[in-house]
Amino acid sequence: MAQTDATTKAYSPFRPAAAILREKLADPDALVLCPGVYDGFTARIALAAGFDALYMTGAGTAASVLGQPDLAIVSLPEMAGNAGMIAGLDRNVPVIADADTGFGSSLAVARAVALYSQLNVAALHIEDQAFVKRCGHLRNKAIVSLDEYLVRIRAANLARQECGRDIVIIARTDSLQSLGLDEAIRRLKAAHAAGADVAFLEGLLTKEQCREAVQALAPIPCLLNVVAGGVTPVLDAAEAKALGFKIVLWPIVSLTYTYTSVKKAMQELKDKGWCEPLPGGEGGIRDIFEVCGIEEAARFDRSVGGSALNGKFF
């Protein structure tokens, strides 16, 4: 019997996603640019575009999985499951994932770290909001004490050590809005001393404030969060890199364009009874199945001697 492709192909050894992300952070010339994705479909589209890192947005997960706002409604299993599914689409593309406040006590934080790392999520961020949190670009956020925040970070660090699987810990503070820049920087420095790897100062208001924060936190790698309609100025990748940021998230880019495109199509279908095809027929069933990997699935089946997916699909 002839050997199949599956028996002769040489496979590269598994590399943990956290290790891949750490290499990018250690490269002085690299900027980790992450589009926000919230499900397998948006992740597939981002991967097809060539991104080498992804961000699983908590707001997008709440909206897509539950149809709810970002108000601490999504549970740990729902959030970790979504992050793990996205991380499993391409093991060579690290996924950074939202972990809100850590989902409760120090034990809940430890469980979150263990779950995310078991699912090969590269990094997670934990913030200093009160448990009933809200999106970082909304007003009137309640902030916990520095001591309580550091319990979360220390729990994440200890859980990482005990589970034996690496994951990058990103410390996020939402304290700028109510406590000011100096206190936000103090919190992130303390979080780094407690075991966090990356600093995430949410809600920066100006380009100059971005520069000041990065300089004050050096040499800690810093993350910039660019939210459409939010309070932080829109900086392109080159500007963010020049300011010294190592990671840039565009967390709701998928949500924004899904909202505008689907809203328009739904209204057209309601008003006219049909939707006009897009130029060139883009977005038809063929495009959708191809970006989701239908040809790769067929090749895999053939490589192991299967015949269920033989023949052309289109």
Q: Which residues are catalytic?
A: 55, 70, 98, 100, 125, 127, 135, 172, 202, 225
Tokens standing for 17? Answer: 């996603």
297's CB contacts (< 8 A; 6+ apart) are 309
- CB of 64 within 8 A of CB of 103? no
Helix (H) or strand (E) segment spanning residue 127: strand 123-127
End-to-end CA distance of the chain: 31
Strand, coil or helix: what is 222?
strand
Strand 247-250 and strand 123-127: the pairing is unpaired
Report d(CA 238, CA 145) in Å as an integer: 35
Q: C-alpha angle with apex 251: 190 to 104, nearest 5 degrees?
A: 50
Contact yes or no for 4/303 (Cβ under 8 A): yes
Q: Which helix (H) or strand (E) holds 163?
A: helix 146-163
Q: Are 56 and 99 in contact (CB under 8 A)?
A: no
Distance CA 108, CA 272 (A): 50
Tell me the C-alpha distance between 129 and 216, whole Å: 22
Look-up: residue for tokens 């660019």? 226
3-state helix, strand, coil in the chain (%, to 5): 50, 10, 40
